[in-house]
Each structure stands twice: as C-alpha cells, then as structure tokens.
Chains A and B, each alone.
Chain A
C-alpha cells in the first residue's frame, strides 16, 4: 500500500508568529494610511512630471481613509506593541532554536538567488537547491525582517524625536525618518504581492506546511521503507 511521509518544515513558533504578523501588519498599514492622509506629500516625479502620487483622491475614497487621523494614531500606537512583541519573539526564537541557519544568507546566496529568479522566469533550466528556503527566499525573508526592524526604529524616532533625538539623527532627521518609514510600507506591499504570487505558484503542499508544519511526500510502495524509518529516529 502507498504511504505518506510527513516532512517537518516550519516549527510551531514560526507558524504562530507568521500568522499573527499578517493581520497585525495589515492593521499597521491601514492605520498608517489613516495617519498619512493628514499630510500626504510623497510622490515620484521626473522633471516635474508626477509619475506616481501617494495617493490619488480616489484611493482614499475607495478605502474610506479620509478624516481618520485620531483613530489611525490610536490604532497604530496600540498595535505597534503587538507588531514589536511578535517580531521580537520570532527573532529571539529563531536564534534560540538554531532556525536562523535556514535563513541566514552566505556569500553564495545573492548569486544563487539570481539563479532562482532566472529559473522562476523560465530563463534557466537547472533547478536551484531548495532546502527549507531557497536562496531567493533567504534574501527576501532576511530583507523583510530587517525592514520590520527599520519600521520599528524609524517609527520610534518620529514618535519621540526629542527623547530619542540620537535615533532621529541616525535616520537623517524628522522628515527623512518619516520618508523611510513610508517607503518601508510601500516595500511591504511589494513584498506581499510577490509573496502571495509565489505561494500560489508553489502550490498546496507548500501552503499546508505554513499551517500544519509539514509537507506530505508520497512514499513509493515497492522498496521497503526500513531505511527511512531508521532515518526518522533522532541520531545520538
């Protein structure tokens, strides 16, 4: 009879912090937009021609973001605690459990990440090594963790610009810190779009691993599976 092999992928702490972070980050984005609306000065322009305006009037109307500065601030400064605590727990456990080894890029990672990109774009046949995370995932996930730290620190700098004036100085002053804080938000949205697309592309087994913790592999019925069972016994 055919058997299934459960291959552990994401430990419980990763799944819990991941699924808490999703909605909390969404609330931070929403409340951040409520705040940003009150002084929406950013745009990308070339020679006076505005390419992208953050944001056009229809955008605020569509998402009902007008006139909510007070509400936005109250949500933002309450949920920032959940964002911070959840993030700190994730990073701490990542180090304590040794899980960081799956994520930490090395010298070869950037070029391997480029190979993953080429492979995903069907420009390169050879499948890059996957592991729990492939090189592109390592770059993206380490990057988004650093972005989280950046959001927290720039946010603190503009929240307490006098008490934390040294931190504000590190980020180039009040207005530049606010710009970084905003740009990181745009970064999350881009990350999210690619993340969702990749999850859909990778399929059900990959998604299930982020919920159940394991991927399911089919064990061919013919060969006896004693060696595999032995492999299941922890060494030492």
Chain B
C-alpha cells in the first residue's frame, strides 16, 4: 500500500449508494453492453449477407478499392524492390497453368494495341531490338504467402514502350492476356512503368522455361505473382479498368506492393 506506484482510485459521484441503486446501475450498464453487442453482431450479419461484387461482399470490394486509392496516392515509382545476390536465386514454384498453350511457341509474337492507333504485331526481335537488356534478382512474392528469390532477365517495359512508340503516357491502365486469351491481368500504368517491371525471357540465367511462361512473360516486384502474366500474347493500353482473372474471383484488383 505504501508504494507510490499505486494510484488512488477516483470515486464516482455519488460514491455511496443503496444496494438497490448499485443493482440498478449495474443492470443499466449491462443492458447498454448487450445492445452494443447486438449492434456488432448485426453489423457482422449485415456484411455477410451483402450481394457479391466479383465474388466478395460489396462492402469488402469497396474496402479493397479504398485501400487501392490510398496505395496509388502514396505509390513512389522511385522505390525499388530489394535486389539480392544472384547466388541466392532459385526456381520458383511454377504455380498456375491458366492460359498455358499446347506447346512452346517458337514463332512467338505479341499484339499491341490502343484506342486510336493501328495494332502492332511484333516478334521477339521486333519487340526488343535496340532495347537495353537488364537482369534483376528480386523476391518473387506469391499471393498465397510464399516467396522466392529469382533472377529475371529481359527488358524494362518502360524502355520497350519508349523504343516502340507506345503512347503509355496517354493511358491509365493496361490489359495483358495470354496467347489464348484465357488468362488476363489488369495493370495500372505507374506500376507497369516501374523500372523493375520487365518483359522477361530469361530466368536464373537460362532461357525462360515453358512452364514459367516462356518464351515471354511479365515480371514485376511491385505486384503479387498473379499479375506476372505468363505466355504473353496481347498488350492493350486502356483508360478503363481492364478485367482481371483473379480479381473476378474475389482478389484485390490492385494487389500492389
């Protein structure tokens, strides 16, 4: 009792009450407590019964979008994902075969289009000719929670776009699809123009293997792996919000880091 660490209790006014009054106050407090609990339970039930917007209750979809708006506001394209020594790189899990063609495309080409322009059809040489080749050893992060350090080799999307004359500055987003169109991602332009976003044709010093999206895929450390589309077949610059395979199935459209 003598310790100064024990603070004095402050009595409530009036401090001295009849037993009936004490009971009445307790009852009142617990009724309020019960009502607050019922309100909380009701709010949870309300959330659970809202109609779905792309496979999740619409308030949760709106929450994703609000988080996205904040993420876009603070997105700094100058911030790079950490680079690692090449010796730490290994093969990532080849998760997902959505959009996988029947065979490796030796005669690969990509279609590039935007509103108000003629469609470009470019093979590998036409796409990458004269663009600086880069290599980047970064952490590849799957939305499932695992990660793997990988060395990606290829060309910065921003460099390719500049060399090929794509008017990326006029568009807010881009859609990318696999050759067969069955897998597709929607990407915001600032993330795509990030210096570590690559059109990639090599992995860990070897030509990009078929099961990892060869001959050409996208890789970007500013998004979960679901956005690093494999077996790239089409790029479309757009101002509306392009459809996204996993966003339709309940995931965050932005999925940005």
Contact = CB atoms under 8 A, between A and B. Distances in A.
A36 B145 CA distance: 7
B82 to A, nearest CB: 6
Q: Which of A9, A27, A73, A102 has the most CB of B within 10 A?
A: A73
Interface stretch (B19-27, B129-137, B167-175, B180-188): B19-27
Interface string A158-173: 0111110100110001
A51 interface: no
Contacts of A216: 22, 26
Given A2-B19, A212-B30, A8 B145 contact: no
Interface in A82-131: 101-102, 106, 108-109, 129-131
A53 interface: no
B7 A131 contact: yes
Tell me if B's interface is mostly helix, strand, loop or mixed. mixed
B142 interface: yes
B236 interface: no
Contacts of A160: 71, 256-257
B107 interface: no
B139 interface: yes
Interface string B232-257: 00000000000000100111100011
A131 B16 CA distance: 20
A219 B16 contact: yes
Nearest to B222: A162
A27 to B, nearest CB: 8
Contacts of B3: 108, 129
Contacts, number: 155
B6 A129 contact: yes
A228 B25 contact: no
B118 interface: no
Interface in B68-92: 71, 74-76, 79-82
Nearest to B29: A212
B205 interface: no
B102 interface: no
A7 B6 CA distance: 15
B147 interface: yes
Given A38-B145, A212-B26, A6 B251 contact: no
Interface stretch (B57-65, B119-127, B156-164, B210-218): B57-65
Given A70-B251, A165-B82, A232-B16, A6 B142 contact: no
6 contacts: A69-B143, A101-B7, A163-B74, A163-B76, A212-B30, A232-B15
Interface of A: 1-9, 19, 23, 27, 35-36, 38-39, 41, 69-71, 73-75, 77-78, 81, 101-102, 106, 108-109, 129-132, 159-163, 165, 168-169, 173-175, 178, 208, 211-214, 216, 219, 225, 228-229, 231-232
Interface of B: 1, 3, 5-7, 9-19, 21-22, 25-26, 29-30, 33, 36-37, 40, 44, 55-57, 59-61, 63-64, 67, 71, 74-76, 79-82, 139, 141-147, 221-222, 246, 249-252, 256-257
